[in-house]
Amino acid sequence: MYTSRRGNGNPDQDEWSANLITSGPSNFYVQDVSYLPGGYTGWHSHPGVLLSTVTEGSIEGYNSKCQKHVYNVGDSLTESTETHFVRNVGSVNARFMVTYVLAKGQPYRIDQPAPACAAALGLP
């Protein structure tokens, strides 16, 4: 188990915390992911935790409510069991390093149907 917390206790300011607890056999995988301009992941989820950092270009990430967040070089993000979608809308390759923390034998990803809000945004 690893626990870390940073903040001054003021709820009006950003606070950071992390907890990682595993029980039973786990696998850690590292993947170097690259998407050409226009490339995308499709809607999916993960049966564990992913830690990612953008190393080239930028990506747009959408959650299951189709809320968009843009990640640029040096930005980091986490992904987990929530359905999400990532795409490269830039003119250069988007690249990010991903570390998966999964129960032994679990798949890297689980394909999911697009949420109803995706069609309105033109997301596949």
The whole-angstrom separation of Cα 120 and Cα 51 is 29
Helices (H), 2-124: 117-121
In-domain check, residue 49: yes
> For residue 69, what are the domain limits?
26-121
In-domain check, residue 103: yes
Helices (H), the chain: 117-121
In-domain check, residue 87: yes
* Cα-based distances in Å from 17 to 7, 20, 78, 88, 122: 8, 10, 13, 29, 35
Is residue 17 a contact partner of residue 7, using CB atoms and an 8 Å limit? yes
The whole-angstrom separation of Cα 47 and Cα 50 is 9
Query: Over the stretch 95-104, which tens digit does the pLDDT of each residue have?
Result: 999 999 999 9
Instruction: pLDDT band for 17, please (50, 70, 90 cuts).
Output: confident
| Percentage of the residues of the chain whose pLDDT score is greater than 90 | 77
Residue 90, domain CATH: 2.60.120.10
Domain count within the chain: 1
